[in-house]
Structure 1
């Protein structure tokens, strides 16, 4: 090795080939290295680009390509249409990722659709599969918004039990409670209040469950077609909503008055008696609103 250059010595050590044939093949490589002023490290890297014994022509070609990185990268690429194992793995990984995202997007969309169309079993299955109940569409509407607007109390309870946010707002600023109030779904309002909905966010116009109760009672007082069972049931729903509201507001004295009215309703036997309780509840609601307005001043 005394007569060989450091470049040839490094190549020989790296490839562990000490025979004369190897050295003869490396002689043009040495000249090429000197002619192109390639460093010892670059030449060794060039030799290692081909794991088999490189010929002199191939060595010079790789040395030449070291001066043109773009061509070297192009040379390392597979021919058009050829799919290497690495490319297959990469393509598979991308497809799996896209497939997962696509599946998730379809699932959350399907959850909103099922909630909107009152498909209880589908909603339950999707929630059990781990679909996010808080996922919103491009207008910020969640499954809870749709079910609250439609008045499906069962689905509302189901969504809340899986972590749906009762205070999540859509792009217009509406919470599920807003939509339930606008559509006069009293049982849903009661469920949302129990689920943690903020009572001060019932209506963007500043209305509270008291205002909604008064509106509902006015409708009941004007109607004549309802049976006594239906009327009693609707008044009971209003009382339940007000009970939750007063409980959240900490108005214990008002709660006691409301419970007195509730007891009277339970003892009714005729339509006239139910009407009396309805009038009494309407007066209670109006008075509570007046007291509330005075407190806000």
Structure 2
């Protein structure tokens, strides 16, 4: 027997999704780039913060690299989706194969430049080892960490040094790489400059422009290194050598600047040894 109007008062339940506010499992969206960042009221505080961070209007100015790295660390803490994992792998592969266009597109899509593979290597490690200065700068501009270490303890600066990529070392130093982390064996840009200058002084056949470019790159690296150390007097000496290099027009004149730079480097190394005693 029916109760006092209970059944008549009950509305048609219709196709309810299930108990509470939670949808049925089959209604959950497929994982996608940025999945989990557009959750509704049930979202937790970190996810809500990320939603605001990634969905808000892009600022007109350049976002500081430190802020980008901070946001990326929070994102990594939450864990990547399947598509994000694929994008992270593509970024490292593109950096390793010197594919500048793909690196730029992935970074513009929000791919984390600090994400590492199972050996701790990031896209910046690969680009630094390959000596691709353009990709290195692009990664730094999008928040890559120049002091991040791989599984063996190598920073991007280590890899650029051991492969003798002078312009990349300069770019990494400008991007905030620690000068005391160049080489775990204690070598500095001065050691690298000396070895590069020795090769040039051996007289191996190089065109005038090639030698001038090499010397210019070495001077730029040392200027950045000494500037980071606060050695302004030595930096002024390098400025003078750079001016002399620009006025050279013969191989002999370039060789003269090379010899002066070699003497400067040797003297700086001696001073460095004395300071450590």
Q: Normalised by the shorter chain, which TM-score bucket? A: 0.7 to 0.9
- Cα deviation 1:59-96 (Å, max 9, x = unaligned): xxxxxxxxxxxxxxxxxxxxxxxxx9659831342743
Tell me how far 1:98 sits from its aligned partner.
Answer: 10
The equivalent residue for 2:50 is none
Q: Is the counterpart of residue 134 in structure 1 residue 69 in structure 2?
A: no
Unaligned runs of 5+ in 1: 1-7, 18-50, 52-83
Measure, in 1, the Cα distance between the counterparts of 2:221 and 2:87. 33
The equivalent residue for 1:238 is 218
The alignment partner of 1:133 has SS state of coil
The equivalent residue for 1:248 is 228
Tell me how far 1:174 sits from its aligned partner.
Answer: 0.4
Measure, in 2, the Cα distance between the counterparts of 1:96 and 1:13. 49
Q: How does 1:1-297 map to 2 (within 5 A)?
A: 12=3, 15=6, 89-93=24-28, 95-96=30-31, 100=35, 101-297=81-277
The alignment partner of 1:268 has SS state of coil
- Cα deviation 1:79-128 (Å, max 9, x = unaligned): xxxxx965983134274379951100000100000011011111000000
Tell me how far 1:189 sits from its aligned partner.
Answer: 0.4
Structural RMSD (CA): 2.6
- Cα deviation 1:153-181 (Å, max 9, x = unaligned): 00011011101100000010100000000
Given the superposition, is the C-alpha separation of residues 159 and 97 from structure 1 closer, same or farther in structure 2, using an over 3 Å criterion?
closer
Is residue 157–residue 181 contact of structure 2 (8 Å, CA) maintained in 1?
yes
Given the superposition, is the C-alpha separation of residues 103 and 272 from structure 1 closer, same or farther in structure 2, using an over 3 Å criterion?
same
Q: TM-score, normalised by structure 2?
A: 0.75
Higher percent of residues as helix:
1
Higher RCO, 1 vs 2 (CA within 8 Å, ≥6 residues apart): 2
Unaligned runs of 5+ in 2: 36-80
Measure, in 2, the Cα distance between the counterparts of 1:188 and 1:249. 18
The equivalent residue for 2:49 is none
Measure, in 2, the Cα distance between the counterparts of 1:99 and 1:123. 18
The alignment partner of 2:28 has SS state of helix
Asked which structure has the greater CA Rg, the reply is 1
Work out the number of aligned pairs and report it.
Answer: 225
Measure, in 1, the Cα distance between the counterparts of 2:132 and 2:114. 17
The equivalent residue for 1:77 is none
Measure, in 2, the Cα distance between the counterparts of 1:97 and 1:262. 52
Measure, in 2, the Cα distance between the counterparts of 1:130 and 1:173. 27
